[in-house]
Structure 1
Amino acid sequence: MTDLIAELEALRARDLPTHGGRTLAYVYDSGLPDADEIGRRALAMFASTNGLDPTAFPSLAAMERDLIATAKPLVGAPDGAVGTVTSGGTESILLAVQTARDAARRERPSMVVPTTAHGAFHKAAHYFGVRVVAIDVDPVSKRAVPEAMAAAIDEDTVLVAVSAPSYAHGVVDPVAPIAAAAAERGVRCHVDACIGGWVLPWLDHEPWGLDVAGVTSLSVDLHKYAYTPKGVSLLLHRDPALRRPQFFASADWPGYTMLNATMQSTKSGGPLAAAWAVVRHIGTDGYRALVGTTVDATRRIAAAVAAHPHLRLAAEPDTTLVAVETDTALDVFTLSDEMLVRGWFTQPQMGFRDLAPTLHLTVSAATAADEFLADLDEAVAAAVAAGPVQVAPELRAAAAQLDPSTLDDAAFDGLLAAAGLSGDGLPTRMAPVNALLDAAPPRLREALLIAFLDRLTR
């Protein structure tokens, strides 16, 4: 057993740190060791329970009801609202889309979303045959444009979606006018509050939740700013009738009647129990304090970025996410590499349509703003000294002409080698790889990364 633990520790040592506030994407650190400890204990205690059948494990059903009851007043849900615990924000969004599609029964179902909507909506479209109608956001505020969203609703629309906030730029879409336009056409409106739904309740912000007329469903992740272990999200519907198409049952076989509220059948009760324990432990006052700490750090970082001669904000952040653009003296990909050298993981985001590449920062309660900003100054200076990565014009032209559907395995091997994504592991410096991916059209970028993932998991 000692050898196995040592082997696990050796494997884990290669990962990004999940505590300390230096990984500014993927993980969330409250800085509260006691909350982490109770989450781990609950996770282990309920790891072998199975959420497939709530009559077999009534403890899980009780904890799920408690979490929904806790969330309802925070997101403005009416008394009759109902909810479901899912494995994460993507599953919550998948279920929202599937439920809207099944309820509307359109021959060619579509959904209207801003271009900044989370990629999970595109995944849902792929899985469920719902066409995405993506509407450009305001180029300055990065928010959805209500008039454009409303104009895109037609007889095929089964769902309209908005973000609170968007992951890419950290801004809250204008929920009220968009939800009103959806309601006027008899269309559901989903608010993706996966990343902001446990922050916005403690901020002074215009209405964004189920208290907004026309909003029919909302998703909020607990493994983000509720600081619970992965992976727990909540999907809430305004009333039981709206949720009913989400459920699946099948008696067309000789075994037990399959009955599911989520995409999963068997699912460990561990994450649910851990979320229940951590949410109870931290409590409303604890979350208010955590949000205050996090928002203060976010505002200090945003102010410093706005004042920097080589940096600018892609948009003024509404919650705890910051998107950083650069001037032409450097690029976000080299800047990301330089921050990693200094012990900070920051996430480079590719350009899209008229939206520039950005550096994404997810600020947690444990993020030390002063340390971050000191290292950011050094990293910018180093990135300016190195200069932006140059992608040869002929390579850009060739990428624009490539049709990924015509490429075979050998062609992908060659392209991955050219991009620096072949062999074992990743290159030490990702800037040349990311700059090349940024130059590739979205379909080619997707195909290259799928090919890379395929080879990584062989």
Structure 2
Amino acid sequence: MSDPDVLAHLEALRAHDLPTHGGRTLAYVYDSGLADADAVGRAALASFGATNGLDPTAFPSLAAMERDLVALARPLFHAPDGAVGTVTSGGTESILLAVQTARDAAAVQRPAMVVPTTAHGAFHKAAHYFGVELVAVDVDPTTMRAVPAAMAAAMDALADRLVLVAVSTPSYAHGVVDPVGPVAAAAAARGVRCHVDACIGGWVLPWSPYPDPWDFAVPGVTSLSADLHKYAYTPKGVSLLLHRDPALRRAQFFASADWPGYTMLNSTMQSTRSGGPLAAAWAVTRHIGDDGYRVLVDRTLAATRELADAVRATDHLRPVAEPDASLLAVATDDALDVFTLADELSSRGWFVQPQMAFRDLPATLHLTLSAATAGGLDDLVVALRESVDAAVAAGPVVVAPELRAAAASLDPATLDDAAFDGLLALAGLGGDGTVAVPERMAPVNALLDAAPPRLREALLVAFLDRLTR
């Protein structure tokens, strides 16, 4: 196949993807709206695509750029001069490393960590991978923020098994900043590390008017993660994990000389890792600069506030919480459901992310705004209100009582492939070993929302398994 044919085929495949530019995809992607910054990032990505971060002595340019990014981030997060950092592949890897480092440094039997129920799912993944018990503490149902007294009580219940406490700035689900100060103080009083997950807010809050300390300015904060491929608008995937001092980071490193090859030495979960994303992050952050980020953040936060006001002024909708940064969670009344609303917005060219109900927290619509979204905000509000009218006319999706009861009675641990195929067919996601994604996802999402979390997880794992066969 000739080069033009190869590239044309790639473009044909991309035609089925969500748009990554234009500000209409309100999850997964982040668009600055700056074509020149995108061009710089792509050029750096290509230039360093063949380099390998496995050995910094072989590619000293990568080590230099990593040090530069950490030096750039240190004053943004009020980190002390001795703070150290590592570039990772994304927020999940940064969180995994924070948990693994805390576990290995503590070296206790049956280690455990305390997080709010709104902490990112990456903490659950870390708990699963590293054998760390995760204790999730309910948030305040009015503010959606962690409750310091409840977090402290959970810390005391775990006693000497506790290795880490974490908070979000802000939480992905609801866009609010947890009370870092009192939680970090409680952790410090018990001699425990406190991690701040600023993966989605780390490149927003330093230029925002948020009034309370949330980073290393808070005594007791020992580590912090911040993604550059989010609001630093760099190509994916790049995140930073910072520790207050080198001693706190030491357990993060892995070395193995117990084989006849080279001595394996890694600072992250990966061994081989392309230098392309690192170089692209280095280039884009310098291209945009401090003043540029201030402009982008101002534009994004203004759009977020304006959208929250529009939601409040729209019948049947309400913001779940006042947004602290660039994320907005929206709930509906009983006249419609968020799943139908998401479908209606999608049909009008706006991708939003429905979030399932959890414990006493309602199902919501998640909207991540970026700088590029601001230019189309009027169109978004029009589409939102048209979508509400259409969803009210259609009425909420109703899951048959017998189907709801059947879902509640199933044990995913005992289901075989044939049973899962039947459930996938019932959910509208395929059957007979094949899968299909329907154009309208509301009935599927409503059924998944009704399913207990373990069954929901099992169904989606079965879907992914068949999708990738």
Band the TM-score falls in, shorter-chain normalisation = over 0.9
Query: Which residue matches 2:308?
Result: 302
Query: Which residue matches 1:411?
Result: 419
Query: Which residue matches 1:373?
Result: 381
1:188-223 residue CA offsets vs partner (Å, 9 max, x unmatched)? 000000000000001122100011000000000000
What pairs up with 1:175-324 in 2 under 5 angstroms?
A: 175-205=180-210, 206-324=212-330
| SS of alignment partner, residue 86 of structure 2 | strand
Query: Which residue matches 2:11?
Result: 9
Query: Which residue matches 2:395?
Result: 387
What letter corresponds to residue 249 of structure 2 in structure 1?
A: R
Please list every run of 5 or more consecutive structure 2 residues that lacks an aligned counterpart in the other structure: none
Query: Which residue matches 1:101?
Result: 103
Question: Structure 2 CA distance, aligned partners of 1:27 and 1:250?
Answer: 37
Match of 1:353 among 348, 351, 359: 359
Question: Structure 1 CA distance, aligned partners of 2:151 and 2:377?
Answer: 37
Query: Which residue matches 1:430?
Result: 441
Question: Structure 2 CA distance, aligned partners of 1:321 and 1:382?
Answer: 24
What letter corresponds to residue 171 of structure 1 in structure 2?
A: V
Question: Structure 2 CA distance, aligned partners of 1:56 and 1:139?
Answer: 52
Query: Which residue matches 1:336?
Result: 342
| SS of alignment partner, residue 158 of structure 1 | strand
Moved runs in structure 1, 4+ residues, more than 3 A?
none
| SS of alignment partner, residue 244 of structure 1 | helix
Greater Cα shift, 299-308 or 113-122: 299-308
Query: Which residue matches 1:121?
Result: 123
Question: Structure 1 CA distance, aligned partners of 2:48 and 2:31?
Answer: 22
Match of 1:39 among 38, 41, 47: 41
What letter corresponds to residue 270 of structure 1 in structure 2?
A: G
Question: Structure 2 CA distance, aligned partners of 1:391 and 1:75?
Answer: 47
Using the TM superposition, give the Cα deviation of residue 2 of structure 1 relative to its aligned residue in structure 2, in angstroms: 1.2
1:252-278 residue CA offsets vs partner (Å, 9 max, x unmatched)? 111111000000000000000000000
Query: Which residue matches 1:362?
Result: 368
Using the TM superposition, give the Cα deviation of residue 237 of structure 1 relative to its aligned residue in structure 2, in angstroms: 0.1
Using the TM superposition, give the Cα deviation of residue 309 of structure 1 relative to its aligned residue in structure 2, in angstroms: 1.5
What letter corresponds to residue 431 of structure 1 in structure 2?
A: A
1:28-73 residue CA offsets vs partner (Å, 9 max, x unmatched)? 0000000000000000000000000000000000000000000011
Query: Which residue matches 2:141?
Result: 139
Query: Which residue matches 1:174?
Result: 179
In the alignment, is the contact (CA less than 8 A) between 2:435 and 2:463 conserved in 1?
no
What letter corresponds to residue 440 of structure 1 in structure 2?
A: A
Query: Which residue matches 2:466?
Result: 455
Question: Structure 1 CA distance, aligned partners of 2:412 and 2:37?
Answer: 47
Q: Percent identity?
A: 78
Query: Which residue matches 2:165?
Result: 160
Question: Structure 1 CA distance, aligned partners of 2:64 and 2:378?
Answer: 43
Query: Which residue matches 1:439?
Result: 450
Using the TM superposition, give the Cα deviation of residue 425 of structure 1 relative to its aligned residue in structure 2, in angstroms: 3.3
| SS of alignment partner, residue 97 of structure 2 | helix
Question: Structure 2 CA distance, aligned partners of 1:211 and 1:253?
Answer: 44
Question: Structure 1 CA distance, aligned partners of 2:360 and 2:268?
Answer: 37
Using the TM superposition, give the Cα deviation of residue 424 of structure 1 relative to its aligned residue in structure 2, in angstroms: 4.7
1:89-147 residue CA offsets vs partner (Å, 9 max, x unmatched)? 00000000000000111101000000000000000000000000000000000000000
Give the count of matched residue pairs: 458
1:285-343 residue CA offsets vs partner (Å, 9 max, x unmatched)? 00000000000100000011112121001111000000000000100000000000000
Please list every run of 5 or more consecutive structure 1 residues that lacks an aligned counterpart in the other structure: none
Question: Structure 2 CA distance, aligned partners of 1:204 and 1:216?
Answer: 24
Question: Structure 2 CA distance, aligned partners of 1:447 and 1:150?
Answer: 33
Using the TM superposition, give the Cα deviation of residue 395 of structure 1 relative to its aligned residue in structure 2, in angstroms: 1.1
In the alignment, is the contact (CA less than 8 A) between 2:435 and 2:466 conserved in 1?
no
| SS of alignment partner, residue 376 of structure 1 | helix
Question: Structure 2 CA distance, aligned partners of 1:425 and 1:394?
Answer: 24
Structure 2 residue 88 is matched with structure 1 residue 80: no
Using the TM superposition, give the Cα deviation of residue 76 of structure 1 relative to its aligned residue in structure 2, in angstroms: 1.2
